[in-house]
Structure 1
Amino acid sequence: MAFPMPPPALPSGLPEPREALPVESADECSDSDDCDDFHDPDDWDGQPWEVVFPSDSPLLATTYESSDGLFDALREFCIENQMGLITLRSQKDKDKTRTIKYELVCDKSRYNPRESTAKIRNTTTTKLTANCPFKIIVQSLQTKNYEWSMRIVSPLHRDHGRSKNLTEHYHWRRLTEEQMNLLVDLCLDKAISCRSVHKQLCQKWPKIPIRRTDIYNWRWKVNQTKRQGYGPANDFVRTLSESEKVWIWGLDWIGDEFRFRNVAWGYHKGGKMWQQFSSCLQIDATYSTNFYKMPLVTVVAVSSEKTSMPICYGLLNNEQVASFEWFLKQVSRFQRVGIISPPEIVITDKDDQLCNAIRQVFPNTQLQLCVFHINSNVVLYIKKWWNEANGSLDSDMDDDQDNADAADVQELERGNTKVKDMKNAKLGPLPKRVLNTRAGMYLLWRYMVYNRSEDDFNQAWRQI
């Protein structure tokens, strides 16, 4: 499928598509045993071993009309003897129209030294392969009416044992067109893991020689084809400019490095919600929990029906004031474009960098903290400090206090629920004396958070 090139509106100088695999497919083995065609061999003693060709073998006694028929028979022979072959060189006829000769050697011989696939850094490690002399020649001779035959040059294997399974040989792991079509369809579905893709292939074709590492490489290739070879970050920028669901977006592009430093965007559905409910926003950032390993900032609008909806997102280079200011300026620009009123209240998790940036961009906005997260931290720290101060208590008392903590946490959660409906947020009068226990600490804290009376708040504060 052809994909459109990035529009002119994108920053110029996007990097060219890369053609490299993230891992070397021949270095890892699959954990599944369903695809093994070889039986476990006896322990190799380090001595050379010879492949025995029976005298009545069709490979030696007969000729084949085509090379495909001979190679199919040779494949079955290699599977039985637990080895793999590769083409060392081939020869064409005088007219250069067809191949008439193949020289086949062991795929573990020094005739086929594996090139290093390291792209991140160059290594000086010498990679040596087995000095295996096994060699056969397949050719089409005029004396045999141009039919294909095989002759043995050396049946001896050296410096390596028999293969343990078929997946050790890359050329045996090539897929048919039907298998490849199914693999591509599965790789395009992000909800299906590579382990599941491998399992489905092995269930449909029990003898398919494929490793799970091959699935990773094929998925990478499929994604590269879908992105036209661009990296994930640059492809994401192109998606923002082409997607019909994106309402507006902003980009902080680094021209010399061909990448973005910060990016912000919003969708049409969130923009409509923002136009109706703009007085209260929630802003929070998550650290390295996305594909790009960048902090993701989410702006959430709160409706009059006490529901919420994300309205704006941002990927930032870091969580410093400068990055937050850039993002909030983009939010302010989105607000002006959509003819949206500035927020009156912004709820955060008390991130100092974010709060300072909000004060710079929205100076007339009131900053508030989330009650639910505050209560969760209070329960955690009261339990921690109480255990440290009373470390000599026995285990039975600790179990009783843990049970009491569970009840107190449930009570605080009920209090969080009641806050959503202010008419049920009233509490009874504060007791004049509260026991010096964890339950007493929770009770005083609940009065401090939910009571509307300033006198009760001050009294609870003095007792706590």
Structure 2
Amino acid sequence: MTKSLAKPRNILTDLKERNKESVTLIKQVYNARTRWCKGQREDKTELQYLITRLEENQSVYFTRANSEETTLEDLFFAHPKSIDMLNTFPTVLVMDSTYKTNTYRMPLFQIVGVTSTKLTYSIALAFLSFERENNFIWTLAMFVGLLTSKNNMPKVIVTDRDLALMKVVAKVLPKTDHVFCYFHIRKNVKGAFLLWE
């Protein structure tokens, strides 16, 4: 059921429906899922397994290591269908990071696009060692490399008020309008939907 992407609570419910006398706890379901996932990886580390899966799905990915080439610092990846969508609908993009969502506590930077029918689609993800200008410059350079034409540059980029990201967007995509997300600025600007830079 884990392979079918069933949620742990649904797995537990199914187990209890199949066997009314089952005393299985949710913790046991999580432990069994963890063991199954480790078995899928075989002797590979989590990162090696991720890269293997990216290659199996023919995803485009780029890595960047530290100067001694001993530690991976940044990982950028995008699915081929996402790249096709980007080159079809490059006009409006949203960029943001999430925190503490993985074992390594690395920020996960996501780039999302908006279609002409106002649907969103995921373009690319990047695990970053830090949210510094250097990391964002590298990430946006990898992103720009996904565009098939210089005429396909985004017209609008929506971000939060991350100063490093704001500077990099202005450097890497100087002709793109930069808009701040209302959700991130509403404490400072009441009644505004978007604040133009």
Shorter-normalised TM range: 0.7 to 0.9
Q: 2:78 and 2:100 mapped to 1: Cα distance?
A: 20
Look up the match of 2:47.
Answer: 233
Look up the match of 2:74.
Answer: 262
Matches within 5 A, 1:244-255: 244=58, 246=59, 248-253=60-65, 255=69
State how many pairs are aligned: 191
- Structure 1 residue 266: Cα displacement: 1.5
Q: Which has the higher contact order (CA 8 A, sep 6+)?
A: 2
Look up the match of 1:339.
Answer: 149
> Which of 356, 359, 374 is 2:170 aligned to?
359
Q: 1:220 to 1:280 in 2, by over 3 A?
A: closer
Do 2:8 and 2:29's aligned partners in 1 also have CA atoms closer than 8 Å? Answer: no
Look up the match of 1:204.
Answer: 19
Partner of 1:318, secondary structure, is coil
Q: 1:232 to 1:202 in 2, by over 3 A?
A: farther
Look up the match of 1:220.
Answer: 34
Matches within 5 A, 1:42-191: 186-191=1-6
Q: Are residues 1:242 and 2:56 paired?
A: yes
Matches within 5 A, 1:302-451: 302-335=114-147, 338-339=148-149, 341-371=152-182, 373-374=184-185, 376-378=186-188, 445=191
Q: Which runs of 5+ in 2 are unaligned?
A: none
Look up the match of 1:193.
Answer: 8
Q: 1:297 and 1:372 mapped to 2: Cα distance?
A: 17
Q: 1:279 to 1:201 in 2, by over 3 A?
A: closer
- Structure 1 residue 270: Cα displacement: 2.0
Amino acid at match of 1:309: Y
Describe the superposition over 1:74-106 as per-residue Cα deviations: whole angstroms up to 9, x where unpaired. xxxxxxxxxxxxxxxxxxxxxxxxxxxxxxxxx
Do 1:187 and 1:197's aligned partners in 2 also have CA atoms closer than 8 Å? Answer: no
Look up the match of 1:45.
Answer: none
Amino acid at match of 1:329: A
- Structure 1 residue 302: Cα displacement: 2.9
- Structure 1 residue 365: Cα displacement: 2.8
- Structure 1 residue 226: Cα displacement: 0.9
Q: Which runs of 5+ in 1 are unaligned?
A: 1-185, 380-441, 451-464
Do 1:251 and 1:264's aligned partners in 2 also have CA atoms closer than 8 Å? Answer: yes
Q: 1:279 and 1:264 mapped to 2: Cα distance?
A: 21
Q: 2:10 and 2:116 mapped to 1: Cα distance?
A: 45
The structure richer in strand per residue is 2
- Structure 1 residue 263: Cα displacement: 1.1
Do 1:198 and 1:215's aligned partners in 2 also have CA atoms closer than 8 Å? Answer: no
Partner of 1:234, secondary structure, is helix
Fraction of identical pairs, as percent: 23
Partner of 2:145, secondary structure, is helix
Partner of 2:106, secondary structure, is coil
TM-score normalised according to structure 1 size: 0.36
Q: 1:195 to 1:300 in 2, by over 3 A?
A: closer
Q: 1:187 to 1:369 in 2, by over 3 A?
A: closer
- Structure 1 residue 202: Cα displacement: 9.4
Partner of 1:334, secondary structure, is coil
TM-score normalised according to structure 2 size: 0.76
Do 1:262 and 1:316's aligned partners in 2 also have CA atoms closer than 8 Å? Answer: yes
Do 2:11 and 2:29's aligned partners in 1 also have CA atoms closer than 8 Å? Answer: no
| Bigger radius of gyration among the two | 1
